[in-house]
Amino acid sequence: MLSFWEENTFNHVDIAIVGAGITGLSTAISIKERAPHLKVLILERGIMPTGASTRNAGFACFGSLSEILDDIENFGKEKAHQLVQWRWQGLQLLKKRLGTKKTDYRNWGGFELIRESETHFLDRLPEINDMMEDIFETKIFSEKKGLIKKFGFRNIETVVQNTLEGQVDTGKMMYEMMLLAQKLGVMIWTNCLISKWRNDGDEIRVGLQDDYRGGFSLHAKKLVLCTNAFTENLLPKADLLPGRGIVMITKPIEGLKIKGSFHLDRGYFYFRNFGKRLIVGGGRNLDKEGETTTDFGLNQKIMDDLQYKLKNIILPGRKVEIEQNWSGIMAFGHDKMPLIKTIADHVYVAVRMGGMGVAIGSLVGKRVGEMVLDEAPEMTEKT
Ligand SMILES: Cc1cc2nc3c(=O)[nH]c(=O)nc-3n(C[C@H](O)[C@H](O)[C@H](O)COP(=O)(O)OP(=O)(O)OC[C@H]3O[C@@H](n4cnc5c(N)ncnc54)[C@H](O)[C@@H]3O)c2cc1C
């Protein structure tokens, strides 16, 4: 049971946001930046964010050459261009808000490793450079075969460089984002698994449960679901499937020459340095069915492949020890665009960030904030 004080003050908010990942935090920050007087509450099921945002590999990226070509093939040129633009704009907003120092944002560039069977991608490099020039005001991709020797790769035909890509310390980025939200006056309640909400016309009621008070329902004027891969219970018909991503980090490697963010195989496989260590991840395409899960487990087949690539392509002939493996859960749909919608009066959803949320999450949060505050139109490829 709630006390009179709890009911009067804590249990009534202007905006309730479910999910304390990048999207939920960015939405809350965007709202408070524009409307500091509003009472904004984030409800998070875990002790800390428990989805993708604290469990990714920290690439500040916006698409490798082969990933963009894949997107054009699957979704058309307009959407492929829009996604790159949103990712780029999202990264600028992220940097502006959090700065580069505290998040360890490093602009060391991005590199795509092209194998012999993939050299046909290079035929379309000039076309993609032209297509993206309005975003970057430069020809973004260039072939740099000499980098194979510099980095010591094997079984690679050439390398495509992108000088604008960066990387962050994911932990620090999320920590700083939470601090910023709290500094702006956002309340964050953790250990709150939300399983139901209902629209009562002039307010939204959100079901909460606690060991000391039992069940009660929060009153919110507006509700935003930023629950990404875990949205099914709250919105059963959403076009969304979970996709697990596996990451491993090595122990420090003496004399490591690799510095920057690296991609292979249309963005499905990636690695980067973290100080003297390497972070290696991806491989979801090797077992798409098995990886369509919300379970934070590991997949031996994929981990074996990551280790194989480490030994045969990235650090040939070097003995490398893995310090830790983990996984995070992303959300995908039939379309690669994020799903940002008004789903009922005063209820919004911003989910399906795919493998792009570090980049796109801040912009999505800003856009949802506009929808919440101004009833602005949804974020589609036309807006
Ligand atoms: C391995 C991996 C690598 C990645 N690499 C990159 C990359 O290089 N670049 C990039 O841009 N992106 C990358 N991503 C994607 C990026 O991390 C995600 O797109 C982004 O973090 C999604 O943020 P989000 O806030 O939408 O979702 P999430 O971070 O999943 O947050 C959703 C939150 O909602 C909470 N929640 C869910 N349901 C409920 C409920 N019912 N009640 C209360 N709380 C709930 C969850 O606990 C979670 O904290 C990667 C992801 C993974 C897993």
Mean pLDDT, rounded, for 165-190:
98
Q: What is the mean pLDDT of the chain?
A: 96
Percent of the chain residues past pLDDT 70, beyond the cut = 98
Domain parsing of the chain, residue ranges: 4-54+172-238+335-374, 107-167+240-332
Residue 207 or 237, more confident: 207
Q: Residues lining ligand 1, judged by CB closer than 6 Å? A: 18-24, 43-46, 49-53, 55-57, 59, 61, 192-194, 226-230, 234, 245, 247, 281, 328, 330, 353, 355-359, 361
pLDDT at 380 over 60: no
What pLDDT is attached to residue 201? 87
pLDDT band at 383 (very low <50, low <70, confident <90, very high): very low
Using one digit for the tens of pLDDT, what is the confidence trace for 270-292?
A: 999 999 999 999 999 999 999 99
pLDDT at 235 over 60: yes
Residue nearest to atom 30 of ligand 1 (CA): 51
Fold of 4-54+172-238+335-374: FAD/NAD(P)-binding domain (3.50.50)
Q: What is the mean pLDDT of residues 221-228?
A: 98
Q: What is this model's ipTM?
A: 0.99
User: Closest ligand 1 atom, CA of 281?
Assistant: 1
pLDDT digits (tens, 9 = 90+) for 52-94: 999 999 999 999 999 999 999 999 999 999 999 999 999 999 9
Q: In this model, does residue 216 exceed pLDDT 50?
A: yes
Instruction: Tell me the fold of 107-167+240-332.
Output: D-Amino Acid Oxidase; Chain A, domain 2 (3.30.9)
More confident residue, 202 or 221: 221
**Tokens standing for 38?**
């509003």
**Contact (Cβ atoms closer than 8 angstroms) between residue 320 and residue 310:** yes
**pLDDT recorded at residue 65:** 97
Any bridge partners for residue 262, and if so which? 111, 271
Tens-digit pLDDT profile for residues 329-363: 999 999 899 999 999 999 999 999 999 999 999 99
> Residue 275 Cα, ligand 1 centroid: separation in angstroms?
24
Q: What is the pLDDT of residue 375?
A: 76
Ligand 1 pocket, mutate which of 169, 189, 227, 351 (most atoms under 8 A from CB)? 227
160 contacts 142 by C-beta, under 8 angstroms: yes
Position 378 scores a pLDDT of 66
Specify the DSSP class assigned to residue 363: H
